[in-house]
Amino acid sequence: MTPARRSDGATDLRVQLGPLRLKNPVVAASGTFGYGAEFRPYLDLNDLGGFVTKGLSLLPRRGNAPPRTCETASGMLNAIGLANVGVEAFLAEKLPALRGCGTAVIANVFGETQDEYVAVARRLNGAPGLDAIELNLSCPNTEKGGLAFGVSPPVIREVVGAVRRAAPDLPLIVKLTPNITDVAVAATAAKEGGADILSLVNTFLGMAIDLKTRRPVLDNVVGGLSGPAIKPLALYMVQRVRSAVDLPIMGMGGIANCRDALEFIVAGSAAVQVGTLNFVDPGATTRLVREIDAWCRGEGVRAVRDLTGTLRLPAGTTPGPAAV
């Protein structure tokens, strides 16, 4: 990766998350950026901090029956069903097309069993041009009655540890599900399992009903909520994890503009991910990079990394869920 251009007055946008160096803190989120090349008409990948691929499984998956999406107040529900080309096609067709793209390529990984997570991670370890993997822990665990991997601390420790051993050469990002009572508990388990970086949040479970037919709008009944509607929930979770676990964070959830991104950084994110906004505006990510740069200049912030976790909590605030 080429270092960020530095001229007099320009902000130092580079960030370091454990073993992962990014040229700037803006990363496109999994499932909203395809396999990267799809965005070439709208932006220069070279201007991005990085992007995360659609979630990859061992075999290709066709996904759920439609309707798969539904717009809701300032957000959307999706139940795509983790449709993807499979790890082999990713390595043979998608990854080579990204050679020299100048940005960090992060592969999102999931499985229905721990063995599947491990097998995908092992295939990806050492792949030329791949900079990190991100484990999606929101996938249902078919061996544990369909409960998501990410809701049980022992399961998290085990799957993260197994993937860590299967892909020792790649920085390991663990993506937490928000569908849990205390996200800090999951974050702690991910750290114990050997995560280098935490990313949060994935989508919140939700549903929509068509009153005319009295049926759920989504064929899958439930879907994941994303977009501006979830931002306050996600921001709180980032702050919560930051206060409980000492690992670098990629925060996300409803980021729609530069100020949203900066709030996530102040709450404790070293980098942010941008999801649903890519659908609304395919050039949004690189525009955010320019706007963050401009904001920092205006505020006299020399390096964006200096903003991470600068949240000023009222004196006497105890970390953890408090009465509201």
Window 183-212: contact mask with ligand FMN (x via CB under 6 A): -------------------xx---------
| 187 binds other proteins per the rule CB under 8 A | no
Positions 211 through 240 that interact with other proteins (CB under 8 A) = 227-228
| 30 binds ligand FMN per the rule CB under 6 A | yes
* β-strands 50-52, 204-206 pairing: unpaired
Integer angstrom CA distances of residue 20 from 25, 103, 192, 293: 11, 12, 19, 21
Residue whose entry in the numeric block shows the structure tokens 């399992």 = 193
Q: Is 139 a catalytic residue?
A: yes
CA angle 222, 86, 96 (to 5 degrees): 130
Burial category of 300 from C-beta neighbours within 10 Å (exposed 0-12, middle 13-18, buried 19 and up)? exposed
| 162 binds other proteins per the rule CB under 8 A | no
Q: What is the DSSP letter of 15?
A: E
Window 119-138: contact mask with other proteins (x via CB under 8 A): --------------------
Closer CB to other proteins, 69 or 243, in the complex: 69
| 173 binds ligand FMN per the rule CB under 6 A | no
Count CA within 13 A, CB hemisphere, residue 187.
25
Report the alpha-carbon distance of residue 123 to residue 134 in Å, rounded. 14
Choose, by CB under 6 A, the member of 254, 258, 288, 289 that binds ligand FMN: 254
Buried b (16+ CB within 10 A) or exposed e, 89-111: ebbeebbeebeebebbbbbbbbb
Here the tokens at position 7 are: 């001229």
Reduced to 3 states (helix: H, G, I; strand: E, B; else coil), residue 199 is strand
Choose, by CB under 6 A, the member of 103, 114, 136, 188 that binds ligand FMN: 136
| 308 binds ligand FMN per the rule CB under 6 A | no
Choose, by CB under 8 A, the member of 280, 294, 303, 313 that binds other proteins: 280
Positions 52 through 71 that interact with other proteins (CB under 8 A) = 54, 62-63, 65-71
Residue whose entry in the numeric block shows the structure tokens 């955010």 = 288
| 32 binds ligand FMN per the rule CB under 6 A | yes
Interacting residues toward ligand FMN by CB under 6 A? 29-32, 54-55, 78, 80, 82, 108, 136, 175, 202-203, 226-227, 230, 252-255, 274-277
Chain residues that interact with other proteins, rule: CB under 8 A = 31-34, 38-39, 41-42, 54, 62-63, 65-71, 73-76, 78, 80, 83, 227-228, 256, 276, 278-283
Annotated active-site positions, please? Answer: 139
